[in-house]
């Protein structure tokens, strides 16, 4: 399979994944952080929702692309939070953040909303 990406872009994506891995391995507690939404997003959601190869393969709506998110946000945050906790389509339940509370998932979605709409 030939991916429609330049080597430069792939290199960037790999660098980004390494960065994400480094960010994850700092082993900070998820709860009790003032900017919880952004932190959770960066650690658990950005891999798919911030573009790059994984996001492209999974088909995740991309943060910053209002047209991709509109159909979801039109349902309202309550329904989106409930759906994200169950794990829609190719997304893992809670986006893989098993220890995240409903509030934390919601604040990560609010962060996406802030960056997108």
Residues that bind ligand HEC (CB under 6 A): 40, 44-45, 47-49, 58-61, 72, 75, 80, 83-84, 88-92, 94-97, 105, 108-109
DSSP letters along 18-87, please? Answer: HHHHHHHTT---STT-TTHHHHHIIIIIHHHHT-HHHHHHHTPPPTT-HHHHHHHHTT-HHHHHHHHHH-
Q: What's the closest the beta carbon of residue 23 comes to ligand HEC, in angstroms?
A: 13
Contact 105, 85 (CB under 8 A): yes
Is the Cα torsion angle 12, 107, 92, 44 positive or negative in sign? positive
Q: What's the closest the beta carbon of residue 2 comes to ligand HEC, in angstroms?
A: 22
Q: What's the closest the beta carbon of residue 47 comes to ligand HEC, in angstroms?
A: 5
Which residue, 7 or 50, has its beta carbon nearer to ligand HEC? 50
Which residue, 51 or 80, has its beta carbon nearer to ligand HEC? 80
Which residue, 51 or 97, has its beta carbon nearer to ligand HEC? 97
Task: Give the nearest residue (CB) to ligand HEC.
Answer: 89
Which residue, 51 or 108, has its beta carbon nearer to ligand HEC? 108
| Residues ≥6 apart with Cβ < 8 Å to 78 | none
């Amino acid at each position: 399979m030939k991916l429609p990406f330049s080597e430069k872009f792939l290199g960037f994506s790999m660098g980004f994944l390494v960065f994400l891995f480094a960010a994850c391995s700092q082993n900070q507690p998820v709860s009790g952080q003032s900017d919880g939404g952004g932190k959770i997003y960066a650690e658990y959601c950005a891999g798919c929702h911030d573009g790059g190869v994984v996001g492209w393969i999974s088909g995740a709506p991309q943060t910053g692309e209002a047209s991709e998110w509109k159909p979801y946000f039109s349902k309202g945050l309550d329904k989106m939070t409930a759906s994200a906790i169950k794990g829609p389509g190719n997304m893992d339940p809670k986006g893989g953040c098993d220890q995240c509370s409903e509030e934390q998932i919601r604040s990560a979605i609010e962060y996406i909303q802030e960056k997108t709409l």
